Amino acid sequence: MTRPQRQSPPRSTHSITLHLAGFPERRCLPRLTDRYCPSDSGLHPLRETEHAARKRQGGRSKPLLPRFKFDTVRTTASVFGVYAGILGIEHGYFETLQGNVAPKGLKILAASPSELPFPFGHEPAMTVIPSFLVTGIFAILVGLAITLWSAAFIQRKYGAAVLLLLSVLLLFVGGGFGPISLLITACIGTAMIGKPLTWWRSHLHGNLRRFLANSWAWLIAAALLWVPSEYIAGRILDLRNDHRQILTNLNLMLSYPLLGFFALSLIAGFACEAERQIVSDARDGGPDFKNDRQQLY
């Protein structure tokens, strides 16, 4: 007595199409598109075929994972925001040391020459409060708020708007001019958190984008270590602040490369996040898959 043979289920239209096109047959639900049918390697079928063909030709395969698995735009904005908040707290501390004394005008020096523990400048700032003591207290409180907001809440819906308002408030309560450049960079980055970065993906050449992405960590480290390096250099060279403002002018001249590091760190963060989005779309067969496949190689 012969056993009846089990009939195999009919192929879906999607599987027949891939089979005729020369791709490995994958069992997928008919309603799903090919972007949800990864191969055994975890890649989109078209992406896997191209990757395998490149290997057969002896070419060197590009890595299929992004340089960083986290959002570098958010990280850059958060780090710069926290750094600016700490600098605002530092300005406020030196202002409280000057006591309940009325400043001579809107523009003030947060630290007097005798109080500043390091050379290169006198912490210029501005305030609308007629008291160094009250100005310093407000600067410490606003700087603390910026630090906490940047560390934990910057990714929220109104993250950029709140950070901008706190930045303006810090400027008018003696937080200093230096932190403002950091906060401008942080506000721009915050406004772009979670965005598709279409312009950066289409206008940055692949090699330049990858170079900036690989340089992001070094650029942000240089931006953060610039001021401590000035302090160390001043200690080694035994420099002292003087009434002729020579070191203050030198500090202003040295601040221009620092501003460049701030801008380059943010641009590199955009490039790194754009690279991560491109790799993610290429792996999943996203809406921009055809363009992303060309940009990867």
Instruction: Quick: pLDDT tens for 204-250.
Output: 888 898 899 899 999 999 999 988 887 787 777 776 665 556 666 66
The band of 92, judged by pLDDT with boundaries at 50, 70 and 90, is: very high
Note whether 95 and 135 are within 8 A (CB).
yes
**What pLDDT, on a 0 to 100 scale, did the predictor assign at position 256?**
78
**Residue 102 sits in which domain range?**
72-296
CB burial of residue 273 (10 Å; 0-12, 13-18, 19+): buried
In a domain, 34, yes or no: no
> In 3-state terms, what secondary structure has residue 98?
coil
Compare 173 and 281 and report the one with higher pLDDT. 173
For residue 237, the SS3 value is coil
Look at residue 88 and tell me whether its pLDDT is greater than 90: yes
Instruction: Count how many residues are written for the chain.
Output: 297
- CA-angle at 190, arms to 187 and 193, nearest 5°: 160
Q: Is residue 167 part of a domain?
A: yes
- The values of phi and psi at residue 150, to 5°, are -65, -35
Q: Is residue 164 part of a domain?
A: yes
Give CA 197 to chain center in angstroms: 13
CB atoms within 10 A of CB 247: 17
φ/ψ region of 127 (left if φ > 0, alpha if ψ in -120 to 50, else beta) reads beta
pLDDT band at 3 (very low <50, low <70, confident <90, very high): low
Mean pLDDT of 131-155: 95
- Could you tell me if 296 and 216 are in contact, meaning their C-beta atoms sit under 8 angstroms apart? no
Q: Does 204 reside within a domain?
A: yes
pLDDT tier, 70 (very low <50, low <70, confident <90, very high otherwise): confident
Closest C-alpha to 213, from 199, 226, 201: 201
In a domain, residue 177? The reply is yes
Residues of the chain above pLDDT 90, percent: 39
Chain centroid offset of residue 296 CA: 22
Does residue 190 lie within any of the structural domains? yes
Chain centroid, CA 7 distance in Å: 56
What confidence category does residue 254 fall into, taking pLDDT thresholds of 50, 70 and 90?
confident
Prediction pTM value: 0.71
- Dihedral of the CA atoms 251, 252, 258, 259 (nearest 10)? 170
Number of separate domains in the chain = 1
Contact indicator for 282, 201 with CB cutoff of 8 Å = no
Residue 7 counted as domain residue: no
Instruction: Using the predicted structure, report yes or no on whether residue 131 has a pLDDT greater than 60.
Output: yes
In a domain, 30, yes or no: no
Q: Which residue has the higher pLDDT, 12 or 250?
A: 250
